[in-house]
Structure 1
């Protein structure tokens, strides 16, 4: 990841407050974004009106990596906490990959890791109970996030906030 980070100007960052929109679904992909500090979420509105969280990108991660190969974004990107983002033109990013095989290999490894994480999230969402989903999530990612971020966790494991809160209360009382 350090190799990918090296092509971004991390001294020229844009600051986003919690809730700020980085880009919207349907917007043309012009830039590639690196999270220098903070966290963002990729959200897609479902026909039911609910939102699906497709990615949580934290410090050191690239946002919406699949969009590097798309003309338009397929989701919204929202800052979840104070977040600093470095960006570079999509065309420059692609040119850097074409001209540097080590960088291209680092990018391929980064994408492969993202696929592994997506598969894990899908497996967690396929578990039947909130308890099973929460156990699998903590086994994979560690400790629970801070209380103010539990809504994001509920979205990530595809349960209602209320169901997650009930399960957490049950665990505290057990």
Structure 2
């Protein structure tokens, strides 16, 4: 358990916390946790994908967070006694459960770890705010460009971690609308697309 965790989690995670991590292998459509369950852990997704879902009155679900390979998940719930959403696996996943109690103890006594983890929370908050802002954009073209600008690296390159269908879901678009929009942007020389890699021109 310890060897697996130390290889998967960031190098700045304390060994004394790593030994307490539990590894889970979950299949597609399994739940990592459900709304109102006692919040005992936060999570690190080594492989696969998990989504935080909030039920809507019409029976659908809003995607609050989506984490895939080498990303943390449900970090905000460390400040709540119970989970505030459902967490469902959308691609077969390997996930490490990090106990909240041990994490809080290290945050209180390890300043360097506390600063690094705070930086992680700030970065993830920025991503969530960008996602919420993006979903308020009406035009598909503008929504796609917003994602590419906000999520691409310093070289204006983004590599999709999942299929275009998942990308469309992330953007709140129908797959056909996304395919058409990407094709139009490429014809206008605004992007170059090769497989899962998209470059802003």
Shorter-chain TM-score tier:
0.7 to 0.9
Task: Provide TM-score, normalisation by structure 2.
Answer: 0.73
Q: 2:166 aligns with which of 134, 137, 152?
A: 152
Unaligned runs of 5+ in 1: none
Give, in angstroms, the shift of residue 63 of structure 1: 1.1
Alignment CA distance shift 1:99-1:151 (3 Å): same
1:28-67 → structure 2 map (5 Å cutoff): 28-67=38-77
**Aligned 8 A contact 2:20 2:98 in 1:** no
Distance 2:182 2:20 in 1: 39
User: What RMSD, in angstroms, separates the aligned Cα atoms of the two structures?
Assistant: 2.6
Alignment CA distance shift 1:153-1:173 (3 Å): same
Write the deviation string for residues 87-116 of structure 1: whole angstroms up to 9, x where unpaired: 132111111111211111111101110111
**Aligned 8 A contact 1:8 1:34 in 2:** no
Distance 1:71 1:44 in 2: 17
Partner of 2:88: 78
Larger relative helix fraction: 1
Q: 2:13 aligns with which of 4, 14, 30?
A: 4
Unaligned runs of 5+ in 2: 1-9, 152-157, 189-201
If asked which structure has higher relative contact order (CA below 8 Å, sep 6+), I would say 1
Pick which of 66-75 and 29-38 moved more: 29-38
Distance 1:122 1:88 in 2: 27
Task: Provide TM-score, normalisation by structure 1.
Answer: 0.83
Write the deviation string for residues 98-149 of structure 1: whole angstroms up to 9, x where unpaired: 1211111111101110111112112211222112112222333324554xx4
**Aligned 8 A contact 1:5 1:34 in 2:** no
Partner of 1:107: 117
Larger relative strand fraction: 2
The structure having more radius of gyration, on CA atoms, is 2
Alignment CA distance shift 1:118-1:89 (3 Å): same
Alignment CA distance shift 1:84-1:46 (3 Å): same
Distance 1:166 1:75 in 2: 33
